[in-house]
Amino acid sequence: MHVIQGRVKDYDWGAAHLIPGTFGKPAASFPVAELWLGAHPAGPARCDVDSRAIALNDADLAAGEAGRHARERAASDLRGYIAADPEGTLGADVVNHHGGQLPYLLKLIAPAKPLSLQVHPSLEQARIGFDREEAAGIDVDAAERSYKDRNHKPELVYAMTQFEALVGFRTPRRILGVLEGLNTELTDALAACIRAQPDARGVRDAFASLLQEDTRPDAQAVADVVAACQNRPADDSPSPRADAIIAKLAANYPGDPGAVASLLLNPVTLQPGEAMFTPAGTVHAYTSGLGLEIMANSDNVLRAGLTSKYVNVPELLNIVETVAAPPIRIAPERISPIQSTHYAPVDDFELSIIELRHANRTASIRGAGPRIILALEGACELWTESGQQHVLNTGQAVFVRADDGKVRARGFGRFVQADVP
């Protein structure tokens, strides 16, 4: 069992206050978009910390050059710690099935404005794409690099506050209903695509027409759609929510056709404690809130818009799934009196919420293999089968090795555990 600290990602869509506030810290002077707790090479968790350290390093919240260097520097990290003893840290089964790598990445994520409209590849698509970009000599850190690794990136988000998102395509019939009455040249063209083929192919054609260079609408055409949505009375609108969403997206990304694409997508609201799974190929964008996110250990993102980062439209259209599907909400299974687990339909991860209510009574935390336990609130005492012991306070995180065996705990508070099925 080893205390770890996460790595801050200061993407421009992040909230300055939500993640620091979770750890009792004041707002940063820059966006704190994500805190990574894992072993991905782009941001492995620190291991060079003492037993009292919380998971958010104060130096990471420093402004300017000093803060940037602090975010990049670590004397030892979880990636190296695992590499020194893969079988002991991960277990033989995980080594055999996941190539000696920690299979998941746990994050806190805090969008203050919408993330990019994006899709993640399947395992086969990631391997092909990564090898193709390697052969082309594109540096893995280059801005125009789409595939950072050879892994897929299914993901599950657990809402810590109300969490808003766009996920997957509406049915063709519902899209036509949302477009009805807007009477702009662009929305009429989108509707015509779908009426010509009222299925996934028509939806793909409509979506592609917003993104591809030869059919991409200009800023004025986008503004016309936004104005039409804003001007239709809520009582007459087929979706006041869609009208509000496109206005928000356009305010953050003026002229971006991704705002119009939102009319084709399902809006989702997660209340605190609810979770949603996003499989490969599903277009999505998180728009606001604070969440815990667990995913396969990957940073592969294909972007369609709503971003200042590299957009690879041909590759995104190659992997996006346009069959209408509702968002996949994952209800937890109560596996013990203290533990509820969100099981995703993948072999890379599962996420448990642990509620301890007895400071003097020990209970078993179910799970095996490599685990990360993060204290959201409260404190507990942890014991492992291997004889390790640690007091985990609010904001602290520990990595539990596979060879530590079973974990028992006593205390009071709420904790999250990431582990491998």
Share of the chain above pLDDT 90, in %: 89
Q: What is the pLDDT of residues 131-151, one digit of tens each?
A: 999 999 999 989 899 999 999
Which stretch of 116-125, 246-255, 301-310 has the lowest confidence by average pLDDT?
301-310
Note whether 175 and 162 are same-domain residues.
Answer: no
Residue 222 lies in a domain: yes
Say if residue 284 carries a ligand binding annotation.
yes
Note whether 176 and 278 are same-domain residues.
Answer: no
Say if residue 155 carries a ligand binding annotation.
yes
Say if residue 69 carries a ligand binding annotation.
no
Average pLDDT over residues 173-191: 97
Residue 324's nearest CA partner among 262, 282, 267 is 282
Residue 48 lies in a domain: yes
Note whether 139 and 238 are same-domain residues.
Answer: no
Note whether 158 and 279 are same-domain residues.
Answer: yes
pLDDT of residue 64: 55
Note whether 172 and 294 are same-domain residues.
Answer: no
pLDDT of residue 70: 63
Query: Residue 202: which domain range?
Result: 168-265
Note whether 350 and 369 are within 8 A (CB): no
CATH number for the domain spanning 90: value is: 2.60.120.10
Residue 316 lies in a domain: no
Q: What pTM does this model have? A: 0.94
Note whether 309 and 9 are within 8 A (CB): no
Angle at 306 between CA 301 and CA 312, to 5 degrees: 45
pLDDT of residue 75: 67
Note whether 24 and 108 are same-domain residues.
Answer: yes
Q: Dihedral angle at the C-alpha atoms of 327, 269, 334, 93, nearest 10 degrees?
A: 50
Q: With helix as H, strand as E and coil as C, how does 129-179 read?
A: HHHHHHHCCCCCCCCCCCCCCCCCCCEEEEECCCEEEEEEECCHHHHHHHH
pLDDT of residue 13: 94
Note whether 292 and 233 are same-domain residues.
Answer: no
Residue 315 lies in a domain: no
Residue 314 lies in a domain: no
When divided into structural domains, the chain yields a total of: 3
Note whether 9 and 35 are within 8 A (CB): yes
Note whether 281 and 208 are same-domain residues.
Answer: no
Question: Which amino acid is it at 76?
Answer: S
- Sequence-distant (6+) residues with CB within 8 A of 192 are none
pLDDT of residue 359: 85
Q: What is the pLDDT of residues 361-399, one digit of tens each?
A: 999 999 989 999 999 999 999 999 999 999 999 999 999
Average pLDDT over residues 294-304: 93
Note whether 82 and 210 are same-domain residues.
Answer: no
By CB neighbour count within 10 A (0-12 exposed, 13-18 middle, 19+ buried), where does 337 fall?
exposed
State yes or no: is 71 an active-site residue.
no
By CB neighbour count within 10 A (0-12 exposed, 13-18 middle, 19+ buried), where does 59 fall?
middle
Say if residue 98 carries a ligand binding annotation.
no
- Band of pLDDT at residue 65, cut at 50, 70 and 90: low
Q: Is the pLDDT of residue 71 over 70?
A: no
Average pLDDT over residues 388-416: 96
pLDDT of residue 46: 95
The structure tokens listed for 42 are: 């782009």
The structure tokens listed for 96 are: 């055999």
Which residue out of 7, 145, 303, 371 is catalytically annotated?
A: 303
Note whether 258 and 285 are same-domain residues.
Answer: no
Per the listing, tokens 């958010």 go with 56
